[in-house]
Structure 1
Amino acid sequence: MTKTEDSRALLQQVAAAAGFSSDGATLIRLGENAIWRLDDVVVRIARAGQERAAAREVAVARWLAAKGVPAVEPLPLEQPVVTACGRAATFWALLPPHEAGTEADLAGLLRQLHDLPVPSFEIGRLNPFVRIRTRLAASRTVTDEDRAWLLNRLDGLEKGWRALPPGGRTECVVHGDAWTGNCAVTTGPDRRAVLLDFERTAFGPPEWDLTSTAIAYDTFGTLPQEKYRAYCDRYGYDVMDWSGYTTLRGIRELRLVTFALQIADQDPAASDQARHRIACVRGLRGPRPWGWIPVG
């Protein structure tokens, strides 16, 4: 069976368990999570072993709604639904017609999120290194020399994370994957920005969320300066002014390198970009911005 066929079989199980029919389901995305549409319902099927994370996603979304922060809405049923093979699925109300939000839209939502008190349920502490080491170990695209260098870089960044300098903002609940793809804006007459995808939501430094947009300007070179300034103005702070930014930028860049390696193992067309990213972080492509392009 193909990955899509395997995922559809899982969808049939979880949909039936939740009282839905999977007839006519359409695949939205098949990545680390499988996302399907059933009429006006969106189903997210998590990776194996992610039942607790899926439950936390639902709890976070309900907590945000109670606090008045616009977010996607989980259906009012007991979640997650877990298959016999241990795959957890969550069910969400389909957003009305929408498009990706702007950086300024995202900044406004993050400002609201970061101002909230810590919730009463267990939120967990942010781990920005999730899957980096396993991606490096599994990669068939990376050379042994580059793998050794990247693992050494990872060791140094882990030490830097444990010893972030003073002067940062007060720790709070962070989104964890705060880019414009996780901010949707409805396209009707009542324009409304909402947050989505709470897989990485945890307690940690708010600068982690802000670094995602900073590297679009600083590392990728895809975000014009005026849009980055609008983002900082809307949030009320520029993370690049903090001395700990370079550590967070390094972690984000390493995550993006290993993600490209993961994609390259599945799609050789991404190999050139993966090798380019490695050369950049190794200092072989001159100063930032490096002109990275999306993969996957």
Structure 2
Amino acid sequence: MSQSGQRANASEVLNRAAKLSNIDAEGAVTIRDGSHAIFELPNGIVARIGKPHSYRTAERELRISQWLNRNGIATVEAVNSIPQPTLVDERPVTWWTLIPDHRPSTPAELGRMLRRLHTLTPPTDFALPPYAPFDGVREPVESATTITEADRSWLLAQYARLRQRYDELDEPSQPCVMHGDAWQGNLVVPPSGEPTVLDLDKVSVGRREWDLIQIAVDHTDFHRITDDEYQGFVDAYGGYDVTHWPGYRVLADIQEFRWVAFALGRSNKRQSAATEAEHRIACLRGLVPKPWTWRAL
């Protein structure tokens, strides 16, 4: 299916869901066309279209939003006047209040939010799943049609190596509530100045280090943030620097493998994603020196 076909399919789901929920979707604008399709609608509403058969995940996102807001962590809020989720062709659609004119958080703002999040006691009225870092990672490698068999073989062997290295890590003494996709774009700052958490589908229970890895890798492997910005993140989190943790490289390698798998998952339908996936694989295989430059998809 072409990229335009993907968009048309998501738009069709949106229009049907909007009709079922009596929402005006005329002139909807695509915000993101990733693992979820996200649209901005009139009247300050954002529609988030989940993957097929992810109704329970969408339900949990709604409950997580309410729970985090009750516990003092500002989080994107659902539109309470609409029964949710709306189901169309096994795809759940959730409706959220638009956060206008926001900017990505600074590293320090992200560090402060994560410090608070990681101290929360998990909810008792619903269960958070354990974080599963390898979910959905192998399949894109196996199904990609744009890579060489040599690259596929290397990636599958690397996947096996990473699973073994991960299994050899000591169990965390205190698993905590974690966001699961903690980067500056998922904590946004509106004109009110209060950083607000987005993208709740991966909120789970697991190692706190997972929530510290993305920005640490941005610093060590990509140089996307400066030394001072990274130190600001560490200080705001409470002084714990995950790059000094003995398991850092294991989690960092897994995170980068996940980013490669994401590109591969889109490579069969988008030439730009195929080109980017090829570059990312070359980086992992040591053919491109660090710091790396990877393009967003």
- Establish whether TM, by shorter chain, passes 0.5: yes
After superposition, give the CA deviation of every residue in 1:159-188 in whole Å (9 maximum; x if it has no partner). 22223236x5731111000011101101x3
| In structure 1, C-alpha distance between the alignment counterparts of 2:73 and 2:168, rounded to whole Å | 32
Is residue 254 from structure 1 mapped to residue 257 from structure 2 by the alignment?
yes
| In structure 2, C-alpha distance between the alignment counterparts of 1:295 and 1:231, rounded to whole Å | 22
What percentage of aligned pairs have identical amino acids? 34
TM-aligned CA deviation for residue 27 of structure 1: 2.0
| In structure 1, C-alpha distance between the alignment counterparts of 2:189 and 2:293, rounded to whole Å | 26
Distance 1:283 1:47, change over 3 A: same
Runs of 4+ in 1 over 6 A off after TM superposition: none
**C-alpha root-mean-square deviation of aligned residues, in Å?**
1.7
What amino acid sits opposite 1:99 in the alignment? R
The 8 Å contact of residues 176 and 208 in structure 1, kept in 2 or not, is answered as: yes
TM-aligned CA deviation for residue 136 of structure 1: 0.2
TM alignment of 1:231-250, pairs within 5 A: 231-236=233-238, 237-250=240-253
User: Which is worse superposed, 94-103 or 202-211?
Assistant: 94-103
The 8 Å contact of residues 280 and 294 in structure 2, kept in 1 or not, is answered as: no
| In structure 2, C-alpha distance between the alignment counterparts of 1:80 and 1:4, rounded to whole Å | 20
After superposition, give the CA deviation of every residue in 1:33-80 in whole Å (9 maximum; x if it has no partner). 111122211110111111111111111111001101011111214321
User: Which is worse superposed, 208-217 or 10-19?
Assistant: 10-19
The answer for the alignment partner of 2:58 in structure 1 is 54
| In structure 1, C-alpha distance between the alignment counterparts of 2:189 and 2:177, rounded to whole Å | 22
Q: 1:205 aligns with which of 199, 204, 207?
A: 207
After superposition, give the CA deviation of every residue in 1:229-260 in whole Å (9 maximum; x if it has no partner). 11111102111111111110010011112222
TM-aligned CA deviation for residue 103 of structure 1: 1.3
After superposition, give the CA deviation of every residue in 1:101-145 in whole Å (9 maximum; x if it has no partner). 111111111111111001111111101112110110111122111
The answer for the alignment partner of 1:162 in structure 2 is 167
The answer for the alignment partner of 2:127 in structure 1 is 122
What amino acid sits opposite 2:157 in the alignment? N
| In structure 1, C-alpha distance between the alignment counterparts of 2:57 and 2:262, rounded to whole Å | 20
TM-aligned CA deviation for residue 262 of structure 1: 2.9
TM-aligned CA deviation for residue 225 of structure 1: 1.2
What amino acid sits opposite 1:235 in the alignment? Y
Structure 2: tracts of 5 or more residues without a match: none
Structure 1: tracts of 5 or more residues without a match: none
Is residue 290 from structure 1 mapped to residue 291 from structure 2 by the alignment?
yes
Distance 1:254 1:213, change over 3 A: same
TM-aligned CA deviation for residue 199 of structure 1: 1.2
TM-aligned CA deviation for residue 272 of structure 1: 4.2
Distance 1:8 1:280, change over 3 A: closer
| In structure 2, C-alpha distance between the alignment counterparts of 1:78 and 1:66, rounded to whole Å | 20
The 8 Å contact of residues 100 and 185 in structure 1, kept in 2 or not, is answered as: yes
Is residue 132 from structure 1 mapped to residue 130 from structure 2 by the alignment?
no
The 8 Å contact of residues 283 and 292 in structure 2, kept in 1 or not, is answered as: no
Is residue 66 from structure 1 mapped to residue 66 from structure 2 by the alignment?
no
User: Which is worse superposed, 234-243 or 267-276?
Assistant: 267-276
| In structure 1, C-alpha distance between the alignment counterparts of 2:38 and 2:275, rounded to whole Å | 28
| In structure 2, C-alpha distance between the alignment counterparts of 1:238 and 1:290, rounded to whole Å | 20
TM-score for both structures, normalised by structure 1 = 0.92
Distance 1:93 1:151, change over 3 A: same
> Aligned residue pairs: how many?
290
| In structure 1, C-alpha distance between the alignment counterparts of 2:161 and 2:230, rounded to whole Å | 28
- SS of the residue corresponding to residue 251 of structure 1 reads helix
What amino acid sits opposite 1:64 in the alignment? L
- SS of the residue corresponding to residue 292 of structure 1 reads coil
- SS of the residue corresponding to residue 189 of structure 2 reads strand
